[in-house]
Amino acid sequence: MRLDLTEDQEFFRATTRKFLESEVPLATVRSLYDTVDGFDRTWWQQAAELGWTSLFVPESLGGGSLSGAPATDAVIVAEEMGRLVSPGPFLAVNVVAAALAWFGSDAQQAQVLAGVLSGESIATWAFAELDGRWDAASVVTTAGLDGDSVVLDGVKAYVEAAGVADWFLVTARTGEGLTQVLVPADAPGVTVTRGRSIDMTRRFGKVALSQVRLPASAIVGKAGTAGPAVERQLHLALALQSAEMVGVAERTLEFTLEYGRERFAFGRPIVSYQALKHRIADMAVTIEGSKAVTDALATAIDTDDPKVALLASVAKAYVGEHCLDIVDDCVQITGGIGVTWEHDVHLYNRRAAVDRAMYGSPEEHKALLATNTEGAA
Amino acid sequence: MTGTTDIESVETFRARSKAWIEANLPLLSEPWVETRELQRLLFDNGYAGISYPKEYGGAGLTIEHQKAFYDIVAEQDRQVPSELMVSIGIIGPTILDNGSQELKQRFLPPLLRGDEVWMQLLSEPRGGSDMAGTTCRLKRDGDTYFLNGSKMWSSGAYHADYGLCLCRSDWDAPKHRGLSTIAVPLQGNPPGLTIERTRAVSGEAGHFCEEFFDDMPLPADNLIGEENAGWSVAQSLLFHERNAVGGIGMGYLGGWRRGGGAGAFTGIDVGPLREAAERRGVGGAVGTMIADAVISSVVDPLTSDRITLGLQLGTHKGHRGSLSKLQSSLSLHGVARAALAIEGAAALVWDGDDVQLDNAGTSWLAARGSTIAGGTSEMQRNTISERLLGLPREPAFDRDIPFNEVLRNLGKF
């Protein structure tokens, strides 16, 4: 989240935080653990009213960003969501909204975005497959062209909010190239297997596509040429995810410091010992660095900066690694109570671990950076 | 930075600076221009001390203007007098903060002109981190002070004109309340001064010096700030040092902004690591090291830029410079270690009977310099945790008692 927010953005941040604190405090997050969907759809519509789903939707369809820089606006919400490990498919919905706004036909936009905008329908991106990799080479699901139809076959996995989604943006392969297809959840041949994750509220699922035949008008962009679109969607997903991890890390450090100031050992607060203070100082460095690289990535998406792929991989490698390490060390500082259900730190550990893995691990992004100066995808 | 609207806009400044830089500053590939001469060129054209007030020879503009100037310098691969970073980025701002009107008029214009080069006289052979524990002795006799003791790790004292020296003027006062800072002339063999160069770990004659003061007389007018108020001067100096070393100071001189426009510049060059890995066919094994260097080269400058912006907007407080200093010094050490690992035996052994210094092995020997010089990483971590995050301070055995007593207590450990 940038330091030089506009007045509109600052207001958006404040209302977002207030909304999350009052509507989905940690006690609510805990109770959502016991629900199937992990979030309440009426609540999601309230969130939509605050503008969470409008940022990437064209103004002609009732959407609009706050500042003309929608990724920069969106990371504000993502960071606040991280601070309270909030529920809701914010990342998934916005990546699909952005994909349709950037690459979709007028008809596709009209068909999907109104419902997404109001929060009545949920759209999600089905990219990864059974091997859990978010790169073009790992896509084996096929999109065959047959006259005026496109036929999908394959299994998509790690699909966020799959169980509640009304629309899937499916990334598939047509020969050497990629094709993206907008698939209604109730299309014949679509089988959704609901799933859970270690996160309290974030649900993922598998989407099996067996001879799913749709009109060619369901193809987003041109068949076989979706490679750059997929990259752009991945960059946005990584920006939103990095921002969420920044919020996770910063909030975890805050409440760990509160705890450590009040916890005494050998007559001193435990955070007065250099053994902890020096680790905490290192955390402050990586949180500042995480914010800096996340902001740079969001700006690069908004400005079509050619360095965006490099920044996306650097952001994931850096923020993904340090966020989990910070939460992990905060568990250690918290001591025994930090490894119980009662203490909140596990809520953050859960989110940090899930975010670390999804859309490519720091290790996978480092492998890209090691061999290739260009970075992600 | 400033609310006044009558100063030149950054955009106009950028445009005229660009034209001037292209026409006047030598390229990095051209023969090296002597530091003082280059500084004089900047001064004569109004580009020395861009964010210094005009009355002391500066351009009276802001840090943003300065950043714009050095971004162009970096983009265009031009020479700037980087050796004056201590003078212009650290000492000058400290004199601006603490000096009397007369002192500022006496010392700042020659400093900006490049006529008088400054360095710091802070660390001592007994240690550097506990700076307020200085045992250099300053005693006044009429209009003259006499300085006794020694300083060490002072960069470039052998060619500097003045040193800003922190010393103890009251031994009965508590540690921080008996200090003073004074300007010490270093050239022309002044009486009572001996300067020795400390041999560097590479074996070369060192950049660092050790100075011995034996009843060295100094005019009372050389005092910077009030007598016994030296600690607040030192705090101000440390603040400017952190910012300068972290790449966010008043006077940074371009080394940090190599490589081009926003988001692209870096103090770390990953190219040689990749080349060595390819040459030796060890890419897979050392991939993580290369990736970590790439990450540092991207994240570190973005972090220092964010902190600079925060300081300008007022959302960040001063001690944030320590974040950048800690981050960049750890990265530099990490890159030196990566180079040693990736280049392997060839970095350590060569043909012929001559000593060679331009190799990753020799660089490695000095790599800890980055995490020690300018305030150790441990001291940065103390500053971050105590000053920035407000965590409780370490208990100390030398506070609020006369410094003489502190020294007597040392025997009890």
- The per-residue pLDDT for range A187-197, each reduced to its tens digit, is 999 999 999 99
Interface test with A, best of B299, B311, B319, B331 (most A CBs within 10 A): B299
Q: Select the residue of B299, B310, B391 nearest A3 (Cβ to Cβ).
A: B310
* Partners of A177 in beta bridges: A174
Q: Does B1 touch chain A (CB under 8 A)?
A: no
Contact A271 B392 (CB under 8 A): yes
Which of B270, B315, B394 is opposite residue A3, by nearest beta carbon?
A: B315
Crossing angle (nearest 10°) for helices B63-75 and B10-24? 40
Phi and psi of A203, rounded to 5°? -110, 145
- Weakest-pLDDT range from A310-319, A368-377, B155-164, B220-229: A368-377
A288 closest CA partner among B226, B355, B301: B301
| CATH 1.10.540.10 domain position(s) in chain A | 7-122
378-397 in B: which are within 8 Å (CB) of A?
A: 378, 380-382, 384-386, 388-389, 391-395
Q: What is the pLDDT of residues B90-130, one digit of tens each?
A: 999 999 999 999 999 999 999 999 999 999 999 999 888 89
Query: Angle of helix A274-303 relative to helix A308-334, nearest 10 degrees?
Result: 150
Cross-chain residue pair A314–B292, CB shorter than 8 Å: no
- CATH class entry, domain A227-371: mainly alpha
Provide the pLDDT for residue B75: 84
- Name which of A3, A7, A72, A365 to mutate to probe chain B: the one with the most chain B Cβ atoms within 10 A of its Cβ: A3
Residue of B406 and A301 predicted with greater confidence: A301
What per-residue confidence (pLDDT) applies to A375? 57
CATH 2.40.110.10 intervals, chain A: 124-220
d(CA A94, CA B306): 27
Instruction: Provide the token pair at B69.
Output: 């100037």
* Kind and range of the H or E run holding A210: strand A204-215
B352 in the Ramachandran plot: left (φ > 0), alpha (ψ -120 to 50) or beta?
A: left
Q: The tokens of B165 are what? A: 């020296």
Which of A285, A313, A323, A330 is most worth mutating to test chain B (most B CB atoms within 10 A of its CB)?
A285
The chain A residue lying nearest B378, using CA atoms, is A278
* CATH 2.40.110.10 is held by the domain B118-228: yes
Confidence of residue A76 (pLDDT cuts 50, 70, 90): very high
CA distance B298 to chain A (A): 7
Distance from CA of B66 to the nearest CA of A (A): 20
- Quick: pLDDT tens for B68-77: 898 888 888 8
Q: Pull the structure tokens for residue B215.
A: 């009843």
Residue of B nearest to A264 (CA): B392
B298 touches chain A (CB under 8 A): yes
The whole-angstrom separation of Cα B319 and Cα B237 is 12
Q: What is the pLDDT of residue B250?
A: 56
Mean pLDDT of A32-46: 97
What is the percentage of chain B residues whose pLDDT exceeds 70?
93
Confidence of residue B249 (pLDDT cuts 50, 70, 90): low
- Sign for the pseudo-dihedral over CA of B9, B11, B12, B13: positive
Domain boundaries, chain B: 10-113, 118-228, 266-388
B383 DSSP assignment: I
Sequence-separated contacts (24+) of B82-85 with Cβ below 8 Å: B82/B253, B82/B254, B82/B255, B83/B35, B83/B117, B83/B156, B84/B35, B84/B39, B84/B114, B84/B117, B84/B251, B84/B253, B85/B244, B85/B251, B85/B252, B85/B253, B85/B255
Q: Which residue of B has its CA nearest to A259?
A: B391
Is the CATH code 1.10.540.10 the one for domain A7-122?
A: yes
What pLDDT is stored for residue A219 in this prediction? 98
Asked if pLDDT for residue B322 goes beyond 90, the answer is: no
Using the predicted structure, report yes or no on whether residue A97 has a pLDDT greater than 90: yes
Q: B255 pLDDT exceeds 60?
A: no
B190 lies within 8 A of chain A by CB: no
CA pair distance B46, B27, nearest whole angstrom: 20
pLDDT at B259: 34
pLDDT digits (tens, 9 = 90+) for A329-359: 999 999 999 999 999 999 999 999 999 999 9
Task: Write out chain B residues lying below 8 Å of A261, CB-based.
Answer: 391-392
CATH topology of domain B266-388: Butyryl-CoA Dehydrogenase, subunit A; domain 3 (1.20.140)
Mean pLDDT confidence for A159-182? 98
- The fold for domain B10-113 equals Butyryl-Coa Dehydrogenase, subunit A; domain 1 (1.10.540)
pLDDT at residue A144 is higher than 90:
yes
Closest among A76, A74, A34 to A53, alpha carbons compared: A74
Minimum Cα–Cα distance from B286: chain A residue: A370
B300 contacts in chain A (CB < 8 Å): 289
Q: Is B282 exposed, middle or buried (0-12, 13-18, 19+ CB in 10 A)?
A: middle
| Contact (CB<8Å) A272/B391 | yes
- Contact across the interface for A282 and B292, Cβ inside 8 Å: no
Residue that the structure tokens 């480092």 belong to = A366
Q: Which helix (H) or strand (E) holds B251?
A: none
Residue extent(s) of CATH 1.20.140.10 domains in chain A: 227-371
pLDDT of res. B246? 54
Spelled out in words, what is the top-level CATH class assigned to the domain A124-220? mainly beta
The average pLDDT across B145-168 equals 93
pLDDT score of B317 more than 90:
no
ipTM value for the complex: 0.94
User: Which of A1-5, A68-72, A100-104, B255-259 has the lowest average pLDDT?
Assistant: B255-259
Please indicate whether, in this complex, the C-beta atoms of B302 and A305 are within 8 angstroms of each other. no
Worst-scoring range by mean pLDDT, A8-12, A62-66, B308-312?
B308-312
CA-CA distance, B231 to B132, in Å (whole number)?
7
Would an 8 Å CB–CB cutoff place B307 in contact with chain A? yes
- Predicted confidence (pLDDT) at residue A274 exceeds the cutoff of 50: yes
The string of pLDDT tens digits covering residues B383-400 is 999 999 999 998 888 888
Say if residue B263's pLDDT is above 70. Answer: no
Helices (H), A58-167: 70-83, 90-103, 106-118
- Quote the pLDDT of residue A377: 43
- Which of B294, B296, B304, B394 is the mutation pick for testing A, counting most A CBs within 10 A? B294
B410 in contact with A, Cβ within 8 Å: no
Alpha-carbon gap, residue B84 to B94, rounded angstroms: 15
Q: Taken in order B7, B11, B12, B13, is the CA torsion positive or negative? A: positive
Give the chain B residue nearest A286 (alpha carbons): B327
Is A281 within 8 Å of B264 when comparing Cβ atoms? no
Contact indicator for B84, B39 with CB cutoff of 8 Å: yes
Chain B residues within 8 A of A369 when measuring between CB atoms? 290-291, 294-295
Dihedral pair phi/psi, residue A191, rounded to 5°: -125, 120
Contact list, B385 vs chain A (CB under 8 Å): 271, 277-278, 280-281, 284
The distance of B382 to chain A (nearest Cα, Å) reads 7
Taking only the tens place, the pLDDT of each residue in B264-312 is: 334 688 988 999 998 988 888 899 999 999 999 999 989 988 988 887 7
Distance from CA of A134 to the nearest CA of B (A): 19
pLDDT score at B1: 42
Cα separation, A65 vs B290, in Å, equals: 38
Tokens found for residue A122: 């949920």
Set of chain A residues whose Cβ sits within 8 Å of the Cβ of B305? 292
Answer yes or no: do A284 and B305 touch at CB < 8 A: no
Closest C-alpha to B225, from B238, B237, B216, B240: B237
CB burial of residue B359 (10 Å; 0-12, 13-18, 19+): middle
Residue B247 pLDDT grade (very low, low, confident, very high; cuts 50, 70, 90): low
Is residue B5 over pLDDT 70? no
Q: Is the pLDDT of residue A286 over 90?
A: yes
For residue A88, the model assigns a pLDDT of: 97
- DSSP 8-class letter at A201: S
Mean pLDDT, to the nearest integer, of B238-254?
64
CA angle A71, A72, A74 (to 5 degrees): 60
